[in-house]
Chains A and B, each alone.
Chain A
Amino acid sequence: MTRRDQLFKWAVYALGLLPVWVLDAFVLSRYPLFGVTPILLPVAAAAVAVLEGAAGGAGFGLWIGLIWTLSYPGVPAAMIFLLTLAGFFTGTLSRYALRSSFAGCIVCAAACLALLELFQVISGVIIQLGPLPALLSIALREWLLSLCWTPLIYLIFYRIYRRVGGQKLA
């Protein structure tokens, strides 16, 4: 695959992220369900990592981590590193232990989200944000609600993968 093909492929993936970003940043934040707003960007990172493997997953995770940290208020900077790591592990898992399918994506998205929620809960405990039951309640609801969006997000990136993903442009 030429460098130009690589750039084109990842540009299309970045374009595919645009509706997810708009939905996450502007639409869903206005209409919380059960008192929480889902987080879609980590699910997007997991979906691409499942389809493209460890290297692609880590790179896309880095990109999403940057967007998340820089353009969303209140997101800790550690998310850049955490999402890169999550993309790497998700991609590795999908290559060696799971299938690069929707089922694999659900498992990886669940793991990715669980990692992030754990980080938030531990941070919350350290800075005494609130009582542990309240932190866990928010984390669990956020995890569940975010996981519900996995089918749509996987569909978006699967369609992109079918067109330009992997080595198709080579």
Chain B
Amino acid sequence: MKDFFHKNGVLLLVIALLLSLLVGISSALMGGTADPLSNAATTITAPVRSLVSNVLDWAEGVYNYVFRYEELNTELDTLRKQVADLEAQLRESGEAARENQQLRQLLRLQEKHQDFVFESARVTQRSTTNWESTFTLSKGSSAGVQTGNCVISETGALVGVVEEVGLNYCRVSTVINTDIEMGGICVRTDCAGILEGDFALMSQGRLKLSYLPDDAQLRPGDQILTSGQGDIYPPDLVVGRVEELRSDPSGMMRYAVLKPQARLDSLVEVFIIKEFDVVE
């Protein structure tokens, strides 16, 4: 031990302490923007991340083709049936849409629309810690990505929210992460609540819809969308489906456990909503 202190041991410990303080304080002060050191480190390692990510995606594709061919075929058949059902529903709703359009024109109402500006990005790194659920994506401030932007999958399901932005990367807090909090609404009953992450549910890949009204009549299978309250996040993004209803330890409040629609463990490409404009 004396050798250590002779060999600039104290200096090493002081340097370590100072670096910890520097990185910690700069992270805290910069809010959602990555501190310069993290930015530099992640920018330098970005090519490695992309390369490894691409190689692993390719290897997973080969593995799925070789070992999960039957399973994928079955899933394809199920999806084909779902598409056929949805097309039938679309045809039936076409008449209602036309009538809605005519009524809007009659009453001189502005057409309801949602304009989104998307930026596509690849998932370059999955969450490396068990204490939170995040992704790293391949786009950052140079592509116009900002903290608070929502991220959706190719099917329009909510994946998460951008919480830190670097030059060519951004970190996304997924829907099951503990710091997620946004308004949610049930499609069937119009019942509103708050979508929240929960640490115990996060390890099971679930989140919860809490602060439900006493007369909320949710049931398993109900689809939950974002409500867009406060205009911070876009409305009508698919979050997931209700799995079960539970009460909190006090027994006073009920909450719904949701299974996210987005398959967080197999995402490859996602879309960042950089801007949105909603007219009701």
Contacts and interface: CB of A to CB of B under 8 A. Distances in A.
A129 B128 contact: no
B139 interface: no
Interface of B: 1, 3-4, 7-9, 12-13, 15-17, 19-24, 27, 37-38, 40-42, 45, 48-49, 52-53, 56, 125-132, 134, 136, 164, 171, 178, 198-200, 203-204, 265
Given A84-B16, A134-B200, A37 B7 contact: no
A71 B21 CA distance: 17
A54 B12 CA distance: 11
B56 A62 contact: no
Contacts of A30: 56, 126, 265
B1 to A, nearest CB: 5
Nearest to B15: A62
B106 to A, nearest CB: 52
Nearest to B126: A29
Contacts of A96: 1
14 contacts: A25-B49, A32-B130, A37-B128, A55-B3, A65-B16, A74-B127, A75-B129, A77-B21, A80-B20, A85-B13, A124-B131, A129-B178, A129-B199, A130-B199
Interface in A69-102: 69-81, 83-85, 88, 91-92, 96
B199 A85 contact: no
Contacts of A67: 41
A81 B16 CA distance: 5
A79 B38 CA distance: 14
Contacts of B40: 70
Contacts of A32: 130
A70 B131 CA distance: 17
Interface of A: 22, 24-27, 29-30, 32, 35-37, 39, 53-55, 58-59, 61-62, 65-67, 69-81, 83-85, 88, 91-92, 96, 120, 124, 129-131, 134-135, 137-138, 141-142
- Which of A61, A73, A75, A138 is the most central at the interface, judged by chain B CB atoms within 10 Å of its CB? A73
B27 A77 contact: yes
Contact of A88 (B9, B24, B171, B203): B9
Contacts of B204: 35
A73 B1 contact: no
A81 B20 CA distance: 6
Given A70-B38, A78-B20, A131-B199, A37 B127 contact: yes
Contact of A26 (B8, B13, B125, B130): B125
A125 to B, nearest CB: 11
B18 to A, nearest CB: 9
Contact of A22 (B13, B23, B52, B164): B52
A73 B56 CA distance: 20
B189 to A, nearest CB: 29
A71 B41 contact: yes
A131 B200 contact: yes
A25 B130 contact: no
A130 B53 contact: no
A105 B280 CA distance: 64
A74 B132 contact: yes
A118 B200 CA distance: 18
